[in-house]
Amino acid sequence: MNQLKQLFVCLGLIASYCLAGVSSALAQETKPIKLIVPFAAGGSNDIVGRAIAQQLSVKLKRSVIVDNKPGAGGSVGAEMVARSEPDGSTLLLASASFVMNSAIMKLGYDPVKSFTPAAMLGVGPSIIVINNQLPVQNVKELIAYSKKNPNSTNFGTAGVGSFQHFAVELLMLKTNADISLVHYKGGGPALLDTVAGHVQISMGSLIQMQNFIKTGQIKALAIAGNQRVSLFPNVPTLKESGVDVEAMNWWGILAPSGTPADFLEKLNSEINQILNEQEIKNRFTSEGADPLPMSRKEFEKYISEETIKWAKVAKSAKIKAE
């Protein structure tokens, strides 16, 4: 009788452990996913992140919440994700600044070892704009003007080490333009000061710039991408203007290293399906960007190539984080 009682107790314990495991797995599958956007609300990273999060919530039947954690060029939010539990519940919205940071500052994480690629989202060319009072009509005239007016042609960036900073340094390396940099705490303030005439030039994503261009508050000179964009078909590319410079921002999703591969493959598959849907294609196009679905391996290769490209710019231009 005692042996029978012990058997029932053992079976009960086994059942309890099994139920606990099932409950834990179910809880994990329904736990909200937090998508960390390491920049303030309103910028291109935030806009892209929210568009994807909304569609992903529907696909996964699981809440995907955008959480803005700005600071130190995006490295504050990145470090938060790097230190998160690798269970698929915390993801990072990464962009070009992710690889730029690794070239100029000491980080609290390893940009390669601390993360694993989940999915590429898309790319968007930057666009060079000027204040309406600047007496130039194209990029060649801008470069010539800067050389004739040294130290008085000012460019507003989103801060030291920002995408705009790297992009204009690349432009100066290629053209020998004489442009003074004014660093702001974000692309928004730099853009507003360009509109107001406190600085003459700015460069940023079409997502940020397009409304100001459409209303005539600033003048678009060139697209820093590999082709013209449908939003502004009359604006030439830098290469068409005789300047061999391409400065494309990109957006993708990374997960903490150790996140289960099956979850990441599912995430990649679902996101690629979203990127092929007409609704999201139209959304990207309306923001001056293009969806760019990739496999995880392809995304990993893309990040590696971008890291090498911008590290060379940082070294040549002697860019250092403050």
Domains of the chain: 25-123+250-317 (3.40.190.150), 125-223 (3.40.190.10)
Report the pLDDT value the prediction gives residue 199, as an integer from 0 to 100: 95
Report the pLDDT value the prediction gives residue 132, as an integer from 0 to 100: 95
Q: In sequence order, what are the residues at sequence separation of 6 or more whose Cβ sits closer than 8 angstroms to the Cβ of residue 148?
A: none
**Model pLDDT for residues 116-165, shown as the tens digit of each residue:** 999 999 998 889 999 999 999 999 999 999 999 988 899 999 888 888 89
Q: In sequence order, what are the residues at sequence separation of 6 or more whose Cβ sits closer than 8 angstroms to the Cβ of residue 91?
A: 33, 34, 35, 36, 81, 118, 253, 254, 255
**Model pLDDT for residues 284-294, shown as the tens digit of each residue:** 887 778 999 99
Task: Answer whether residue 93 shows pLDDT above 60.
Answer: yes
* Lowest pLDDT segment from 4-13, 198-207, 311-320: 4-13
Task: Answer whether residue 5 shows pLDDT above 70.
Answer: no
pLDDT > 70 fraction of the chain, expressed in percent and rounded: 91
Kind of pairing, strands 64-68 and 33-37?
parallel
Report the pLDDT value the prediction gives residue 14, as an integer from 0 to 100: 53
Report the pLDDT value the prediction gives residue 26, as an integer from 0 to 100: 38
Report the pLDDT value the prediction gives residue 131, as an integer from 0 to 100: 96
